[in-house]
Amino acid sequence: MLPEAHIAHSLARRARIRIPEKKGSASYFSAVCEQLSKCPGVESVKVTPATGSVLVMYDCDTRELIKYARDKKLFSLGAQRRRPRTLFQQVAAAFQEYNRDLMTMTSGEIDIPSAVFVTLVISGLWQLFRGNVMMPAWYTAFYYALGVFTHAKVDEYDEGVELLAEAGEIESE
């Protein structure tokens, strides 16, 4: 019976695989590193036995990578456990999707920050033209909210939590 693994998170060309039942087994993770490094399309493999994780950088189909691991009797992929996403993360994901769609529609010439910038400059000029120089308009408040949102370090926060967990500073999952 193969150890059960799950994908903790994945991005394009990068996946972190957790194998909880082999946590702490340096010999097992050394063998996983050696075998996965031989998989066609895998660029690098970094293992952390203390946390039971494998970080794989690859340029192949994820299904091929998982099939390779199963064929080499390294692990079998179980149901993926996901942490609940915060409201902020859900909104950020929606903005990223809308941004991708907008860039696709405009052949990469306009993204959401560019569209918001142009809209706000035009709105500001219109307000000045109308003589409204005393109070900021509603869209100014939205602009500041969007600025705070787009400058938030959501990805860096997630990576920082993960690094602390790997170092044993905090407990994860």
Rounded average pLDDT per 10-residue block, the chain, 173 residues = 87 89 94 94 94 92 88 82 74 86 89 79 78 69 70 53 53 49
Q: Cα Rg for the chain, rounded, in angstroms?
A: 23
Predicted pLDDT at 52: 93
- Cβ neighbors of 151 (< 8 A, separation 6 or more) are none
Distance CA 74, CA 68 (A): 9
Helices (H) and strands (E) in the chain, counts: 6, 5
On whether the CB atoms of residues 16 and 53 are closer than 8 A, the answer is yes
Considering the entire predicted model, what is its pTM? 0.47
Domain spans of the chain, in order of start: 4-81, 87-158
Predicted pLDDT at 50: 93
Distance CA 117, CA 143 (A): 9
Q: Report angle CA 90, 13, 4 to the nearest 5 degrees.
A: 80
- What is the DSSP secondary structure assignment for residue 13, as one 8-state letter? T
Return phi, psi of residue 123, to 5°. Answer: -65, -40
The position carrying tokens 């860096």 is 156
Fold type of domain 4-81: Alpha-Beta Plaits (3.30.70)
